Structure 1
């Protein structure tokens, strides 16, 4: 069982090694990187490449670790007891299985994605240490222990919004998805926009990397954003000449696909103003 990438996902050699190492070690794969570099998509493509079902747990700021195990609905049970319902005598009727429980009870191997773990409270990773390490947890309401029938492939993503605890990191295999160089990015573009004209792509990517390297930029455009931008360029049938910028117009064509806040737009407007002033 080895991951070698897919036709829909360009995986670097280092990323393939990381995925396969985590599978061999049977440890969670912790993937970090800029937003939009394909961390979430990696889990989907691993599942597709290995022909495995996937269970996705998207983390929010309000998510608690317990929700990944199970939730006990005491309110519904109290209401049913007041109404004289027969189902009230079986506490399992009021337990909602979480994503980890679903992964543990699967008859075969699955891919479990814990997406954007750094969005949750700082204690969230620590609260899952034992469950992810031992692949089991105890259900207090029923007195049963839920153990994984087959150890799942666990992929955890983080945007680096918060530092993760050392004890949690120690249990993971780590990989950072660096922003792709031009050669890799060309391969990614070819997957999503096959047959794009070379001249247009070269001009667009040159401009894209210039934008990313602009000093003072608050949010650098990501892989997903350059793909959206290229889609718009193709839809508008723009030529390489249409993309040319000068000092008077520093903003790129259709810049809303690349620049996502007013500070960065203002930065390029200031650059244009300074360029016009310098020519006077």
Structure 2
């Protein structure tokens, strides 16, 4: 007997009407590769019920993928931003024993309190994975930048993802996943390779930055189309930011941006987020949009970039593209 699994098509118009209350409220303008390899990787992860590990340079769209999947499927979306001090328990639950003790003391003073110290569950909060486990339908969980934590973290996480359950000693309960979540993990390889046991458990995809002007222009088109859809339901003052940039300006901005990214001496290449911010500034910072021909001349001829503070995040890169004195 074949069990029907949901499929991701990278088509936000397929969103079901009965979407979950924790599903993203606004669409994610995500553009997958033309060959459909990323879409296939997501669907294989759903089919095999394994985490999908996404690697790639900062700003290439790793984080946005999980939100796009959750929006299209109408599933709840829970994000776990991993910190250097993170432990697996942080993503499962937190238990506030100090608050419980405080409430006990208030009870001795016969003061009103919003919680019942005799009920340990009143002091329990679920993390991203914990919420996914108790959800009434499958959830999408983003575990963002897993390599920020210590090397034991991924292997500790394996126990939870292998058994799809965890224990809460404070309440003497065991939580089993009602529905196995779709887990998307991102990594920038900040601390080298992840442990081999964890890698064996995951499906893997390396997300490359768009290399062609057509791909980047498609991202711009989709981005502003979504902004216009959202702005159509908002007040007039918010709609001006959704106006699509001048096509000629977009063309020259894309060409100039890709030329900047070809510079192998850059300490940190700007990503998609920086590009979209830069394009918005070119279009709206002055009363009239930045002149497309002037933009082309600056980048192609004089190797300078207007509004470089938007593009570059390192001193050497910022200094290199400063205007001629």
Q: TM over 0.5, yes or no?
A: yes
Aligned Cα root-mean-square deviation (Å): 2.3
Q: Say which structure, 1 or 2, has more relative contact order (CA 8 Å, 6+ apart).
A: 1
Secondary structure, in 3 states, of the residue corresponding to 1:102? helix
Measure, in 1, the Cα distance between the counterparts of 2:208 and 2:153: 26
Would you say the 8 A contact 2:308–2:321 is kept in 1? Answer: no
The residue aligned with 1:188 is 219
The residue aligned with 1:278 is none
Distance 1:268 1:147, change over 3 A: same
Measure, in 2, the Cα distance between the counterparts of 1:51 and 1:269: 45
1:31 equivalent to 2:31? Answer: no
Q: TM-score, normalised by structure 2?
A: 0.77
Secondary structure, in 3 states, of the residue corresponding to 1:156? strand
Distance 1:249 1:68, change over 3 A: same
Cα shift at 1:246: 7.2
Stretches of structure 2 lacking an aligned partner (at least 5 in a row): 1-5, 13-28, 109-114, 226-243
Superposition map of 1:234-249 within 5 A = 234-235=283-284, 236=286, 237-243=289-295, 244-245=297-298, 249=302
Measure, in 2, the Cα distance between the counterparts of 1:165 and 1:227: 35
The residue aligned with 1:276 is none
1:21 equivalent to 2:47? Answer: no
Stretches of structure 1 lacking an aligned partner (at least 5 in a row): 274-280
Farther off after superposition, 247-256 or 211-220: 247-256
Distance 1:161 1:126, change over 3 A: same
Measure, in 2, the Cα distance between the counterparts of 1:228 and 1:167: 39
The residue aligned with 2:119 is 90
Superposition map of 1:86-125 within 5 A = 87-125=116-154
Secondary structure, in 3 states, of the residue corresponding to 2:298? coil
Which one of the candidate residues 173, 178, 194 is aligned to 1:144? Answer: 173
Q: TM-score, normalised by structure 1?
A: 0.88
